[in-house]
Amino acid sequence: MLFPVTGSTPQEYPSGMAKPVLTIGLLGYQFMGKAHSNAYRQVGRYFDLPVEIRMKTICGRNEAKVRQAAEVFGWEGHETDWRKVIADPEIDIIDISTPGNTHCEMAIAAAEAGKILFCEKPIGNTLSEAEKMAEAVRKSGKPSAVFHNYRKAPAVALAKRMIDEGKIGKIFHFRACYLQDWIADPNFPIVWRLNKEVAGSGTHGDICSHIIDMGRYLVGEMKEVNGLLHTFVTERPIAGEIDDRMGASTTGEMGKVDVDDASIFLCHFESGALGTFEASRFAVGRKNYNRFELYGSKGSLIFNMERMNELEYYNNEDPVGTQGFRVIQATEGGHPYAGQYWPVGHIIGYEHTFMNLVADAVTAVHDGREPSPNMEEGLKNQRVLDAVERSSVGRCWVSL
């Protein structure tokens, strides 16, 4: 079953059957807007999708810049008022890739307008916002998707398959870190990601949310957490004009930093596994070091996003004397997603994780299934973010 969609005249299948069209309205045009735009533009060239994707409107507050984004990224048109995009009867999917302080209002309006909702992570700036957003989507009866794109790297999807097949047995440990260094310089300005009113939190919501989702995806739900949030630099130059690579010029004035620079927590999973999570923007030399290690009764798995086409695997059942970690190049046609692109050994990149997510999401929408991850999963991630923050304040374990 296909959720009712509208839009332009569809192209034809080779058999003469018309594909339905899903029409997109994208709110936001900078870093994530660029990544989402590229995914919508390219995904149909690599996946045999059951729908055609129409890139109708991209929205942003700066008219000149959003017009340029529409031209560069391949959108039919642009808009500066997000409410007009949501009100457009031709648009089926509203994709929110704006700063966190706008998510809640936009998402609720989209759900109340009967739109399918796609949203960047974390879904809200607070748990209360996330609960309201998820409830609005439930009431709408429409599907949703959340852009936890790292799930969609072929090596990560392969790890999930191997876990489900029992290849590493009972999981004892999940260790994850997400390390960057782009604000280690104390003179780096206060961009919106360093402003609690706009971002909700700092490193915790921005990148720790990714490894929280990874832990839940691969191991399962968490039972309790004990965390620490810390800010190393409490005053920085106030940002001037911001670019789409997370940088900015400075105004010459100084301002207070009110978000965390690092987030660390322990967890008990419901399965009995133990988890450690560390996220920092002060790990000098680490650019996008998103890594997890899984240790089980039969073997182990290791992934590092900076080497995203590789998965390390240790099989405890290998003959004694030849045991050791092997590197799997997750580029075989039989590996998840990999067969959509190049011959074996020809690697893919960051942008393909968004394409894989969009392919899964629009196919699920067409088939009448709920995409994964979705708003309910985004809410579960937000509950963990909130519990860790409360744990840091109270210096205690917090149950979920």
Mean pLDDT of 73-102: 98
On whether residue 238 sits in a domain, the answer given is yes
Q: Domain with 115 in it: what CATH number?
A: 3.40.50.720
Residues 166 and 119 in one domain: no
pLDDT of residue 240: 72
Residues 118 and 175 in one domain: no
Asked if the structure places residue 300 within a domain, the reply is yes
User: What is the per-residue pLDDT for 4?
Assistant: 39
Q: Are residue 135 and residue 199 in the same domain, yes or no? A: no
Q: Provide the pLDDT confidence category of residue 14 given band limits of 50, 70 and 90.
A: low
3-state percent helix, strand, coil for the chain, nearest multiple of 5? 35, 25, 40
**Beta strand 299-304 pairing with 289-296:** antiparallel
Residue range 55-70, pLDDT digits in tens: 999 999 999 999 999 9
pLDDT tops 60 at residue 6: no
The answer to whether residue 136 is domain-embedded is yes
Assess whether 141 and 159 both reside in one domain: no
Regarding whether 144 and 126 lie in a shared domain, the answer is yes
Domain boundary among 95, 122, 149: 149
Asked if 226 and 123 sit in the same domain, the reply is: no
CB neighbours of residue 13 within 10 Å: 10
Q: 174-206 pLDDT, tens per residue?
A: 999 999 999 999 999 999 999 999 999 999 999
* Element holding 267 (H helix, E strand): strand 262-269
Residues 236 and 99 in one domain: no
**Can you give the pLDDT at residue 54?**
98
> Has residue 142 got a pLDDT over 80?
yes
> Do the domain assignments include residue 288?
yes
Which residue among 149, 176, 209 closes a domain? 149
Residue 282 has pLDDT above 80, yes or no: yes
* pLDDT category of residue 249 using cuts at 50, 70 and 90: low
The answer, yes or no, to whether residue 90 has pLDDT greater than 70, is yes
Q: Is residue 169 part of a domain?
A: yes
Q: Choose one of 149, 176, 195: the last residue of a domain.
A: 149
Secondary structure class of 157 (helix, strand, coil): helix
**Are residues 170 and 289 located together in one domain of the fold?**
yes
Verify that 32 and 117 share a domain, yes or no.
yes
Query: Of the ranges 1-10, 212-221, 263-272, 380-389, which one carries the lowest mean pLDDT score?
Result: 1-10
Taking residue 310's Cβ as centre, other Cβ atoms within 10 Å add up to: 16
pLDDT digits (tens, 9 = 90+) for 93-109: 999 999 999 999 999 99
Q: Do 125 and 32 lie in a common domain?
A: yes
> Is-cis flag, bond preceding 373, omega within 30?
yes
pLDDT band at 12 (very low <50, low <70, confident <90, very high): very low
In this prediction, residue 11 has a pLDDT band, given cuts at 50, 70 and 90, of very low
Which CATH number characterizes residue 295's domain? 3.30.360.10
Q: Is residue 291 part of a domain?
A: yes
Domain annotation covers residue 360: no
pLDDT, mean over the chain: 94
How far apart, in whole angstroms, are the C-alpha atoms of residue 133 and residue 121?
13
Asked whether the bond before 14 is cis by omega within 30 degrees of 0, the reply is no
- Average pLDDT of the residues in 261-272: 98
d(CA 274, CA 265): 11
Q: Are residues 139 and 171 in the same domain?
A: no
Residues 160 and 73 in one domain: no
pLDDT digits (tens, 9 = 90+) for 290-345: 999 999 999 999 999 999 999 999 999 999 999 999 999 999 999 999 999 999 99
Structure-token match 């106030």, residue found = 238
Domain membership of residue 208 as a residue range:
154-307+309-348
Which spans in the chain are helix H? 31-46, 63-73, 82-87, 103-112, 127-140, 154-164, 196-199, 203, 209-218, 350-367, 375-394
Quick one: which of 315, 332, 340 has its CA closest to 158? 332
pTM confidence score = 0.93
The total of structural domains in the chain comes to: 2
* Gyration radius (Cα) of the chain, Å: 21
Contact, 237 vs 253, CB < 8 A?
yes
274 pLDDT higher than 90: yes
In a domain, 115, yes or no: yes
